[in-house]
Amino acid sequence: MKQDIVISVQNISKIYDEKTIPVIALQDVSFEVEKGEFIAIKGPSGSGKTTLLNLLGGLDKPSHGNIQIGGHEVSSLSGKALVEFRLNHIGFVFQSYNLIPVFTAAENIGFIMQLQKINSDLIHKRVQELLIQIGLTDKANKRPFELSGGQQQRIAVARALAGKPQFILADEPTANLDSKTAFHLLDLMHELNQKEQMTFIFSTHDQRVIERARRIITLEDGRIVSDQRDI
């Protein structure tokens, strides 16, 4: 019996350069996600993994089809409504970190909560909790250029988690990390998934992530060729 369906993807396609030579990044993709799933989307480069994550996060719009997340039809949102949806429902983790260079580690983690207009005392408390969880309390006042790649990615993960979103979308989050740091981050995300029923969707080539996933969706040439649960 299915639990709460929190994401419904119905027949989405994404075609780029439609007026010149069309490039089909995704073609007729459909699937549903239940609350609290821990999903890895895998496939070769160019299979559509990042495109799919961008569509789920409202960073891009499908050429055809629709996406409903938490009762919102994301594919039809625009402007302020889309910004507010992303701010309050989705946490993003990017392979390139995307930290704000002039902010300290603590300021980067707290930034989303500032946008959510959360009380400053609560922001400080949450930031300190996350710094402890990711093992970087001694780096709170360091700026990104003073941190290693692994440390920057841990800060990026903490920022994604800070506002307690319903969903975390992570694009190759462990690609630039050593094994110890990658396993630590995966442990943290798995713990949050279990304790808070936070839904995680990864795009990844990393076998370390794939082995932790409880569901693996495989893309090839923009189509789902396999969808396996409880691996």
Average pLDDT over residues 134-156: 92
Cβ 95 vs Cβ 172: under 8 Å = yes
2 pLDDT tier (thresholds 50, 70, 90): low
All residues at 6 or more sequence positions from 33 whose CB lies less than 8 Å from its CB, including other chains: 5, 6, 7, 8, 39, 199, 201
Q: Which of the pair, 138 or 192, is modelled with greater confidence? A: 138
The CATH number of domain 5-229 is 3.40.50.300 = yes
pTM: 0.89
Give alpha helix (H) positions in the chain. Answer: 49-56, 79-89, 105-115, 120-133, 149-162, 179-196, 207-212
Please give the C-alpha separations between residue 46 and each of 15, 220, 223, in angstroms, as whole numbers. 13, 8, 11
pLDDT of 1 reads 39
Domain ranges of the chain: 5-229
4-53 residue pLDDT tens: 899 999 999 999 886 788 889 999 999 999 999 999 999 998 899 999 99
